[in-house]
Structure formats: structure tokens, C-alpha cells
Amino acid sequence: MENPFYQFDPRLSAYFEEAEKRCAPVYARIDEIAAYNEAKVLHAFGEARVSESHFAGSTGYGYGDRGREVLDAVFARAMDAEDALVRHNFVSGTHALTVALFGVLRTGDRMLSLTGAPYDTMEEVIGIRGEGSGSLRDFGVEYEQVDLLPDGTPDLEGIRSRVVGAKVAYIQRSRGYSLRESLSIASIAELVRIVREADPSVRIIVDNCYGEFVEKQEPTSVGADLIVGSLIKNPGGGIAKTGGYIAGKKELVELCSYRLTCVGMGKEVGCTLNESRELFMGLFFAPSVVASAVKTSVFALALFDLLGFRVYPAYDAHRTDIIAAIELNTREGLVAFCQGIQKGSPVDSFVLPEPWDMPGYENEVIMAAGAFTLGASIELSADGPLREPYAVYLQGGLTANTGKTGVMLAAQAMLGQGALKLYSQNT
């Protein structure tokens, strides 16, 4: 990456060249998936007959907002789903997941997580932590989880026996803040098959955050009942300013819409203000932006593997999400890495991130995010809880070249702090 703008330690530049060489065939695979998904999304736009009039927003109740209805239709088609609820007024992925769970579950029901502990922010929603604040548990919904096996994979035998009689089987596709493997679409298809065999009445809900468009299929393509995610991650294409989605079986999406707005009104209300055009555009860009994020991720994994760190997954692994996890081993390493990523961001590059007690998270967390959209993790961002083994979770990159520059600056910052030792340049 020769240019006059960023000067890297020459030894680091040699590592860059080597990482790029190793990644070339992986990048080619990513491009092939992106081409497929771009065609899928383009076709969905055509089938739904998107036109310029759909970009005009509505106000007030938002009755008869055609843009809102057509966006749901395009999104559903792109996700191989019957219907979708794509709204700027989901405040986050956690909110969309909450609406989905409260939409489907009733008092006396049991929710079973098939993939161990859910994402940190879901603990209070479910009622694993906290009491009396209106969690699912406060409303009489029972929660159980089938822990992952020691190797990080789902316990298929445990699932088979314990899923019988559950109302919801909950699957988290991406690793989140853990070092387990993310679940490929093929693995999700197997879980779906096992659940259906054990008890066909169970509803399967997938936390699809960070997974959209990384593979050619989505969990809904292989039989999941609902998928849920955030629009400031993959499917917003870096353009959506806020929002979330729920997609899947029509009658379940309707139940969720009753929870988002009100019973009886559901999808018929909710003005779009001026957000529609950006949600359409974001979806259109999403497959190519996701490809940039996956390339950034693959590069980071290859580079830090070469530098001697433990990385998850391997740079050439089959990918199902955009997250790279790297064990940086020390608090100083984690902090320096995030500060380097911040330096490589287009916005707030001069800010020095520090660890803080973020609401909803149990440990101190450090986050680097110099994004056009606050908190958007489809944009280059890195974060990690300040606990052993000081793993950093890296995601995003609106363009692959700027993403790689950010990763190089992270390595350089670690080098400057003594948190990275270069033994030799001839890799």
C-alpha cells in the first residue's frame, strides 16, 4: 500500500504484502458471492416495481404509504422471506429482536436458545439479568438454553430432547462477543431440520445480525421462521441512518407488527418521514458493502495470524458474518488496536477511544468508531470487553481499501505501544 499519506513501519508493510498475497483467492470468492447477491437484490427491486414515487415519505399516521409497503416487499424477496417489517423506528437490533420475541411469545411459553448464551444486550430483555423491569421473564416467559459443546458447536442431542414443547427456538448466527464459531447457513439448516423433526410446532427465530448477504442464502432460505437484524449493520448498506428489520413467515411478521405499533393496526401505520429513499438505497448497496467488510475482515485475520496472534475464524474459513475476533492478550494491546482503528476512520479520526461502562454490557468495553452513522458497525469499527483474553471484535469497512488501512494503523499503534513484537520481516 504505497502512498504518501500513511507511513508504516517497513516491516509491517512486508507483512501487508504477504497477507494480501494469501488473501487473493479468498477475495475472489467474496466477489463471486457479492455478484450473486447484487443480482438477487436488483431482481427483487424489479419484481417489486420500485419507482421514484416510493421514495416520498409520509407524515402522521402514515396510512397508505406505498413506499413502506414496497420496501417490505423488496426486502422480503431479498431475504427469501414471505414478508418483512423494515422500519427506521426500530432503534437498534436489540429493539427489533425484542419486538420479535414479545410479538411471538406469550405467558407460559418457553423460549429455548439453541446456541448457548445470547448476545449481551438480550440478557436483560429475556430476564437472565435484572428483575421487575418488564423482561420476558417478568411476563411469565420461561427461558432455557442449550449450552454449546466445548468445541463451540451446538449440542445437537441436547437440542433434540429439550426443544420439544418450546414455543420459540432461538438461534444466534454470529459469534457476537464470544469466541465460538459463527453458524453457517448449512449449520442453521441442520438445526432447522432437527427442530422440525423433534417438534414441528416450534417457531425458529434467528438473530441474523452481521450475517446478511455474507452467504448466498439467509436463514429464511433454509426454513427459519423469522430473522431479525439491524439496519446500521449489513442490510442498511452503510446508508440507512437507523432502523431494523424482521422478516419471515407472514403471520409471524404480522404478530411482530402488532407489538411494534398496536394490535389491530400493525403494518398499516407508521410514517416514514424522509427515510424511505435511504433504506431502499442502503439495501441496494448492501451486498457490495458487505463484501468490502468481509474483505477487510479477511485481511485483518490474515495479517494478525502472520503477526502471531490467535484469530477467529481463520482468514480462509467459510464466512457467514463480517466479524473478525483477534485475541490481543493484553489490555494495552486492545486499547492500542482500537485507537489505531479510530485513527483510520473518516470521522473523528483525532479522537482517542477509552474503555467505559456502556449500558447493557456487563464488563467495561472499548469501542473505536469513526463512522458517518453513530454506532454503525457496517462501517469500520472495533470493540471488545476488557476481560481475558482481551479479544477485539473487528467489523465493517465501507470500502475494502480504507478498511485495510485502518487495520494497518491498528497494528502500527500496537507496535508503538510495545504490544506487538516483530521478530522478522521475511515472512
Ligand X SMILES: *Cc1c(COP(=O)(O)O)cnc(C)c1O
Nearest to 103 by CA among 220, 5, 249, 240: 249
Residue 316: count of CB within 10 angstroms of its CB: 15
Cβ 264 to ligand X shortest distance, Å:
28
152: alpha, beta or left, given left = phi > 0 and alpha = psi -120 to 50? left
Binding mask 38-77 for ligand X (x = CB under 6 A): ----------------------------------------
Cβ 70 to ligand X shortest distance, Å:
25
Cβ 170 to ligand X shortest distance, Å:
11
Which one, 50 or 323, has the nearer CB to ligand X?
Answer: 323
Cβ 119 to ligand X shortest distance, Å:
4
Q: Which residue is nearest to ligand X (CB)?
A: 93
Cβ 125 to ligand X shortest distance, Å:
10
Which one, 342 or 373, has the nearer CB to ligand X?
Answer: 373
Cβ 93 to ligand X shortest distance, Å:
3
Residues 131-190 that bind ligand X (CB under 6 A): 172, 174, 176
The span from the CA of 125 to the CA of 129, in Å, is 8
Q: Is 92 in the site for ligand X (CB under 6 A)?
A: yes
Instruction: Rule CB under 6 A: choose which of 98, 121, 339, 412 binds ligand X.
Output: 121
Count of residues interacting with ligand X (CB under 6 A): 12
Strand order in the sheet with 110-113: 83-87, 244-248, 226-230, 203-207, 168-172, 110-113, 142-145
Instruction: Rule CB under 6 A: choose which of 94, 145, 184, 297 binds ligand X.
Output: 94
Judge whether 23 and 302 are in contact, CB under 8 Å.
Answer: yes
Strand order in the sheet with 381-385: 310-312, 324-327, 391-395, 381-385, 365-369
Which one, 178 or 412, has the nearer CB to ligand X?
Answer: 178
Residues 189-218 that bind ligand X (CB under 6 A): 207, 209-210
Which one, 118 or 340, has the nearer CB to ligand X?
Answer: 118
Q: Is 119 in the site for ligand X (CB under 6 A)?
A: yes
Cβ 418 to ligand X shortest distance, Å:
31
Cβ 367 to ligand X shortest distance, Å:
11
Which one, 198 or 358, has the nearer CB to ligand X?
Answer: 358
Q: Is 230 in the site for ligand X (CB under 6 A)?
A: yes
Residues that bind ligand X (CB under 6 A): 92-94, 119, 121, 172, 174, 176, 207, 209-210, 230
